Amino acid sequence: MWSNCLLKTLSRRHSTSFRASDLAVHLTHTPKTMPHLDQSLIFGKNTTDHLFWVDWDFEKGWHTPQIVPFQPLVLDPCSSCFHYGTECLEGLKAYKTATGKTLLFRPDLNIQRLRKSARALALPDFDGAELLQCIRKLVDVDKKWVPDKKGYSMYIRPTMIGTHQQLGVTKPGSAKLFVVSALVGPYFPTGFNPVNLYCDETRIRAWPGGVGDKKIGGNYGPGIAYTAEINKLGYQQLLWLVKGNVTEVGTMNFFMLWKNKEGETELITPPLDGTILEGVTRDSILELTREWNEFKVTERAFSIHELTQAAEEGRIIEAFGAGTACIVCPVQKIFFKGVDYEIPMKLGKSGLLTKRLLDHILSIQYGEIEHPWSYKVDYN
């Protein structure tokens, strides 16, 4: 009895999750003008009218979740996110179907991953189903920002930061979870634009025992300057290795369709060994291709030498990166130790599988194919 009573008092004082039913919605009085849907939309620049936020602190737990007009954050300059990288993020999109319905694509996986990233930074946990309902409401409030033109979408960026106002390197005593969104255009407005990869074994993005499998801001900043350098050499992305094994390309997962040594046609991608970000797109590609059952689908470690040898022997059929922004991105060539290895592209600007995966996943996202991965935003 007594402990039950105490628990109740405690839980009233300390909230272990915010609740979507407590959501306070403050609508803007000055809606922005919608940008023109053309190819010059800059990624993440055209933010919508509202944002979601909720604060947490050690004493009280989670505060009241809110949807408010889009506005700057006011933070203490001593907030731990500015000093020790207590920041993690997610990226997903909302799509408008031909019948005017708004859909999200597997949002539960993004929320699960956000909780995992937050745990790695000692940021507070919450009930994922509650955040999903809050995001649903945010997208519904801003649904005119989900363009009804295939290829266009609303990009949604859930973010968590430590706001702890002291300069000690400790577990954040306060935090903020917020979600912003922006209208985005098609990644490939004029058809595929294949990328050239630069592979340099002296540069490392992630390592065993590290946090490469978490979407935390600290994983991305350090790659920016080097990527800008290789851009000048005509390469768009880095092909990251761990101990000679291929891991990821830029901020995408890596896939290769090849004839393996046994002569079998095989789609291969590195396994989730802690150095690989577990992409929602990666998971979707694996599940779809396993369902098709037309070739072998394998998650296993493979080295850059296996790749370059296969390229020399003409066994590579196609290769591509995978992620929410582009879905799939064809790879045209890979530079390693002074040699450019050409990757075939049956369709000129991509391989057959790359194109088929793009079309198939797009038709699920835009509701042309009914699929359990689609999450309906509309309340009626």
Ligand X SMILES: *Cc1c(COP(=O)(O)O)cnc(C)c1O
Site for ligand X in 209-248 (CB under 6 A): 215, 248
Q: Left (φ > 0), alpha (ψ -120 to 50) or beta: where does 61 sit? A: left
Residue 124 within binding range of ligand X, rule CB under 6 A? no
Stretch 66-105: interaction string toward ligand X, x if CB under 6 A: -------------------------x--------------
On whether the CB atoms of residues 134 and 20 are closer than 8 A, the answer is yes
Determine, following the binding rule CB under 6 A, whether residue 253 of this chain makes contact with ligand X.
yes
How many CA atoms, within 13 angstroms, populate the side-chain half-sphere of residue 249?
Answer: 29
Question: Within positions 309 to 338, which residues make up the interface with ligand X, using CB under 6 A?
Answer: 323-324
The answer to whether 54 touches 63, Cβ cutoff 8 Å, is: yes
Please give the Cα distance from 118 to 172 (Å, whole number). 11
* β strands within 277-373, DSSP E: 296-299, 316-323, 327-336, 339-342
118, 156, 242, 277: which one contacts ligand X (CB under 6 A)? Answer: 277
Interface with ligand X includes 281 (CB under 6 A)?
yes
Residues 6+ apart with CB under 8 A from 370: none
355 in contact with ligand X (CB under 6 A): no
Least CB distance to ligand X at residue 365 (A)? 12
DSSP3 helix / strand / coil % (the chain, rounded to 5): 25, 30, 45
The tokens 């604060």 sit on which residue?
Answer: 55
How many residues bind ligand X (CB under 6 A)? The answer is: 13
β-pairing verdict for 153-162 and 174-184: antiparallel
Minimum CB separation of residue 2 from ligand X in Å reads: 47
Q: Which stretch binds ligand X (CB under 6 A): 117-125, 135-143, 172-180, 279-287?
A: 279-287
**Least distance to ligand X from the beta carbon of 266, Å?**
21
Residue 241 has phi, psi (to 5 degrees) of: -115, 155
Closest to ligand X by CB, 35 or 44: 44
Selected from 23, 51, 230, 252, the binder of ligand X by CB under 6 A is 252
Q: Report the site for ligand X in 141-180 (rule: CB under 6 A).
A: none
Confirm or reject binding of residue 46 to ligand X (CB under 6 A). no
Q: How far apart are CA 200 and CA 241, in angstroms?
A: 8
CA distance 253 to 281: 8
Q: Please report whether residue 279 would count as binding ligand X according to CB under 6 A.
A: yes
CB of 297 to ligand X, least distance (A): 17
Q: Which residues bind ligand X (CB under 6 A)?
A: 91, 215, 248, 251-253, 277, 279-282, 323-324
